Chain A
Amino acid sequence: MPEGTLCNRQPITTDEQLKLTLSDKGGRQYYAEMEQLEVDTDKLWTAIQNTMKSRLKTWLNVCAKCGLCADSCFLYECNGRDPRQVPSAKIHATLGEIVKRKGKVDNAFMRKCMDIAWSWCTCCNRCGQFCPHGIDMGVMFSYLRGLLFSQGFVPWELKIGSGMHRVYKAQMDVTTEDWVDTCEWMADENSEEWPGLEIPVDKEDADIMYTLNAREAKHYPEDIAEAAILFHVAGENWTVPSEGWEQTSLTLFAGDWEGCKQNVLHVYDAIERLRPKRVVGTECGHAHRATVIEGPYWAGREDGQPPRPFLHYVEWLAEMLRTGRIKIDPAKRIKELVTLQDSCNYVRNQGLKNITREIMSYLVEPGYFVEMAPNKEYNYCCGGGGGFNGIGKYRPQRNIALLKKRQQIMDTGAKLVVAPCHNCWDAIRDLEEEYPMGIRWSFLKPLVIKMMIVPDHLKPQDEEGEE
C-alpha cells in the first residue's frame, strides 16, 4: 500500500479528513497504515537537496562525535545515560543516515526516525550551547521532523494538530464565531467585579493587539479574562483580532513547514489589518518562537521581524510592573519558597531570562525565590516540550522525560512553580499527576491579579453590606 486513508503524505486540509482521522481511536488504524506506508525516496532526496542548506550540511560534516553534548541532554540523563541518547548519536542515526543513503531508506527506518525525532528530542536546543562547533541538534531535529512529515511519518496527534491549524486556523476547533463569543462571554462574566471591563475585538490603531493560545478559548477562557483584567488595570488601549488571534503553531511541532507559514501569516495579516502599535502574546513558549523568532523567516520577511514590535507576555508584564502601571501590594507578596520555570522557547531562543526574574522580584518577598539549578538559558526542558506532552504513543517516554524537571523542582524545596508557558504548565501539571510531590503551579496572570493594588476607580461601586 503506497499511502493509507489516514496515514499518508498529504497534510489534513479538510474538515472531513480531520474528523475521520480524529475518529480513529488512539490512532490505531493510523499507525497500522503507517507500517505499510511507502517511502517516496525520490521525493525525499529531492527535498533534502532543495532544503538542506550549507549550515546543516556543515554541521553534519563537522560533528566530531566528541560527546560533549551528551551531558547537556536531559533525555540522555533520564534514560540511564544510554549512548544512543547522546544528541550527536541521535542525529547521525537518523538525519545523518538519510543523507548518507541519499534518501534511499525504508519504512521501518522512517518509523524509527519518527520515534527518535519525537520521543528522544524535544528540540529544546540546550545541547547547542555545549557543542564546541556550535551545532544545534534541536534545529537539526526540527529539520528532520519536516522531512518525516512530508513523508507521512508523523505522530497521529500532530498530524491532527497541524490539520486543525489548516482547517480552523487554530490548534483546536475554535471558529471565529466561537472566539468572538468567548470574548463577549468573559467580559460579561467579569463585568461586575471589574466595571468597564472590555475585550475589544478588531479595534483599529490600538496600542496593543493581544494574541493567544487556542486552548485558552477552548478550555480555560479565564486566561483571556485575566489578560483583559490586567490590560484594564494597566489602562491599556488594546484589542484582539477576530481572525489571526491564534498564536500557537502545532505545525512547528509537527514539522509542517507550509502550515507554519500559513499560521504566522494569519497573525501578521491581523497586525497589518488592525495596525496596533505593538503586539503582545500570551504566556506561551512555542507560540512566541513561532510568531516572533522563526515566524518572520517562514513568512519571508526580509528584516527578520514581525510587522510590529511583538512582546512576549513577560516583557509586557515586566514593563507594567517597572513603570508602576500595575502595582503589587507589598503585603501580598509571595512568602513561600517559589521557583521559576524557564521556557526554552523564549528564554533560550530569545534570551528573556532576566526579565522573568525582574517580575519575580516584584512578586516575591526577598529570600523566597529559589532558582532551579541549572537555570536561565541552561535550564532543562520541562520534559513535555516540542509536542512531547500531546503524543499518546510516546507517553511512557514522556513520563521518563519529566524526571529531570521533577528533580530540579524538588531540589529547590519550592512548592509553587511559576510557569509562564502553556507547555511547561502542562508538563508540570502532569508531573504532579505522575509523580505526586505536593506542588502547585501557576501562570503569572492569576498571581498578579491576586497581588496587585486595584485603583479605587476601577473597583465595583457596590454599597457596603452590614456594618
Chain B
Amino acid sequence: MKKKILLATTGSPASFGAARVAFEMARRYDAELLLFHVAGVPKKGFSYQEVSDVRSQEAVSVDEDYMAWVEEELKTTYAKQLEDCNNFRILLATGLPHREILRVARGEDVDMIIMGAHSGDSSAVYSKGYPGSTLQRVAKAAKCPVMTVHRESASYMGGFSHIVFATDFSKQSESAFKYALSMAKEFDCEMTLFHALDITSKVLAQSDIEDKLISLRKRLRDVYGPKMGDFKNFEVDVWEGNPYVEIVKIARERMADLIVLAHNTRELDPEQASMGSTLEQVILRANCPVVSVNRPDKV
C-alpha cells in the first residue's frame, strides 16, 4: 500500500471529505500521513512577513506564534481523527497553494496527494493572477496519483471493493491503468474498464453508434486485456453519451468506491483546461473518491 500520503487541506469544511478518506487510508493501510496546510499567500511584493490568510483573507504577519496557532487550529479541527492516527506530521508553508503542495510532494516524495476539489472560497484575488484552481494545477503536474474527494458524502471509506477505470486510450491513461490495476490487485476488488463514446458534438445514426460501441469494446479488450495478467475480476464496458456523465453513471451503477482516470488535457492554460474537462466534471459529480493519474512515476 501507499507509504506516504499527503493530505493538502485548507482546514475548511470543503476539505473534510478529503481528510476523512486520508485519515482512513492512513490508518487502514499503515501509511504515514502528512497533514499539509498553506497558511497564506505572501503579500507586500511577495515578502514573507505578511501573508493573506488562506481562510480569512486577512493580512496577517507570519511569525512563529502565528504558525504555532495555525498548527493548533489544525490539530483542533482534526482532533478526533488524530487520536487514532499514530504516524503523522503537520507541515505548514506560505505561498501559492498549488505550488507549495507540489513542492512538498516532491520534497517528501509522497505516494499520493489527497485533497478537496476547492478551498470553499473562490474570492481570492490571487486566483485571478494565477488562473485555474489549485486542484487543476496539482493534478496536472503531480508525479504521484492525486485523489480528490469533493464532498463528505463521497468519502465513505470502507476499503475498496469496485474500481472504475475510465480511459480515452491516451498515453496518460496507461499510467492511470497501471495504477487502477495495482489497486484492484492489492485490494482484491472488482474492476470495470470503461470508455465513454463521446457523441455530444456529433450526429450519428443509432446503427453507427452501436457499431462503434462494439469496436470500442473490442479495442478495450485488445488494449488492456493482455495487460491484466492473472487478474480476472474485471469487465469491460463502453457507453455512449457525454463522457463525464457516463463515467459517473457507471460508477454509480457498479457501486464503485473509486474512479481512476488520467487528467489528460493538452490545454496548457489551466483556466481553459478546466472548462469542461472530463476529470473536473467527474470530480464534482462522483459519489466516491476520484484518483487522477498523469504520470508513470508512482504507479
Contacts and interface: CB of A to CB of B under 8 A. Distances in A.
Contacts of B143: 188
B289 interface: no
B84 interface: no
Interface string A430-451: 1011001000111000100110
B47 A466 contact: no
Contacts of B130: 220
Nearest to A253: B45
Contact of B46 (A219, A442, A462, A464): A219
A391 B126 contact: no
A22 B49 contact: yes
**A interface majority secondary structure:** helix
A232 B225 CA distance: 39
Contact of B44 (A157, A436, A464): A157
Contacts of B126: 429
A464 B96 CA distance: 33
Nearest to B128: A440
Contact of B195 (A389, A430, A449, A466): A466
Assign chain A's interface to a size class.
35 or more
A221 B99 contact: yes
Interface string B45-87: 1111110000000000101110000000000000000000000
A185 B47 contact: no
A295 interface: no
Interface string A12-48: 0000000000110110000000000000000000000
Contact of A215 (B46, B129, B216, B264): B46
A290 to B, nearest CB: 15
Interface string A408-440: 000000000000001101100110110010001
B70 to A, nearest CB: 15
Contacts of A464: 170
Contacts of B49: 22, 26, 157, 160, 392
Nearest to B294: A192
A163 interface: no
A219 to B, nearest CB: 5
Nearest to B137: A222
Contacts of A189: 102, 141
Contacts of B295: 192
B178 to A, nearest CB: 16
B30 interface: no
Given A25-B61, A222-B99, A463 B46 contact: no
Interface of A: 22-23, 25-26, 157, 160-161, 172, 185, 188-189, 192-193, 215, 218-222, 384, 389-392, 395, 422-423, 425-426, 429-430, 432-433, 436, 440-442, 446, 449-450, 460, 462-466
Interface of B: 42-50, 61, 63-65, 95-96, 99, 102-103, 106, 125-126, 128-130, 141, 143, 168-173, 195, 197-198, 216, 264, 268-269, 294-295
10 contacts: A25-B65, A26-B50, A189-B102, A218-B46, A389-B44, A390-B44, A392-B61, A430-B43, A433-B125, A466-B168
